[in-house]
Structure 1
């Protein structure tokens, strides 16, 4: 099975997930998107309003900034994979809760295993804490 097919299976599991209450208030699941063979994996915290509307991570204001940053270092967004710690939008864009992070953990872990990126870039405190649980952003 190809990496794309494996990631599609993860996305299907995300779409039917009811492990936490976020699915009740979200418009769309936001499993992640990009190049399954990308060398870089960018991980944010959770979908915002536009991400929830479109089902695509980093498509709102934060996505515009990410695209500009990638362009500034001669990277094309279509050559990386972008995902979030949470796969459904938290109400009012609040911070992720521990039970929500735990509920989504297996999906992100599976994405990391499938993509096998050369590097992971964390975007925000909660994504950083997945890899450095005692780290701090000041």
Structure 2
């Protein structure tokens, strides 16, 4: 299924050995120029703190001046009501072609929150995030740092409905879904958030993000530390970056250890 070159264990091997950086990796691909943020997200853009700091804040995510009545309604929902609202949501055009919305899955009191981009075809069929080939890779990534889906881990997406042809979510779609993600974060109260890919990072940090430069730096969202890394689907297409993803997972594990009480 295309996973073997990346994360599958060899006989008698360990997960960490399989994920450890390969010698002399190929140069990272040149990323395309940044695309300007849509005006729909502009009111939520933060100003980064001093670049020399270890933790870079993402301020002003949703202020009282920019929240809509719908945002206020979502902010008061419990898990059952929130998932029902997500499944019936018609806030953007993605609802017109979906089979079903995909709220998220996992431990609702998890320390770890992983946020991806949006559902794919298999997720749209089954109603659960990361169940296809990228999902199997994510499970292997979790195992590499001694985690398991559903056990102290919650998995969600920046948008809850599948974009047509699995395209990147548009800024208006990210903005429409953001109150749902924000409410999930408030209910879970995770210790650490892992942003998987550029759309997830931009939704959480409310700024233009280049993964290559955001890696290895600790951001915050609402006071919660955020680590940025590559989306598993990207890693399936760019094998040379698996070593970088491994470094990011190790960084996340060290960060979590520093956050947990002794």
TM-score range, shorter chain: over 0.9
Which structure has greater helix proportion?
Answer: 1
- Write the mapping of 1:87-98 to structure 2, written as runs, cut at 5 A: 87-98=160-171
Q: 1:62 aligns with which of 130, 134, 138?
A: 134
Question: Post-superposition shift, 1:118?
Answer: 0.1
Q: Is the 8 A contact 2:178 2:203 kept in 1?
A: no
* Higher radius of gyration, 1 or 2: 2
Q: Is the 8 A contact 2:123 2:129 kept in 1?
A: yes
Q: Secondary structure at the match of 1:82?
A: strand
> Which residue pairs with 1:82 in the alignment?
155
Q: Distance in 2 between matches of 1:15 and 1:53?
A: 13
Cα-to-partner distance string for 1:14-40 (whole Å, 9 max, x where unaligned):
111111111110111001010001100
TM-score after normalising by structure 1: 0.93
Is 1:127 the counterpart of 2:200 in the alignment?
Answer: yes
How many aligned positions are there? Answer: 134
Q: 1:37 aligns with which of 109, 134, 152?
A: 109
Q: Secondary structure at the match of 1:77?
A: coil
TM-score after normalising by structure 2: 0.50
Q: Distance in 1 between matches of 2:80 and 2:131?
A: 19
Question: Post-superposition shift, 1:78?
Answer: 1.1
Question: Post-superposition shift, 1:71?
Answer: 1.1
| Structure 2: segments with no counterpart, 5+ residues | 1-76, 213-262
- Write the mapping of 1:19-38 to structure 2, written as runs, cut at 5 A: 19-38=91-110
RMSD of the alignment, in Å?
Answer: 1.2
| Structure 1: segments with no counterpart, 5+ residues | none
Q: 1:105 aligns with which of 158, 178, 195?
A: 178
Structure with more relative contact order (C-alpha pairs < 8 Å, separation 6 or more): 1
Q: Distance in 2 between matches of 1:18 and 1:135?
A: 28
Q: Distance in 2 between matches of 1:130 and 1:91?
A: 19
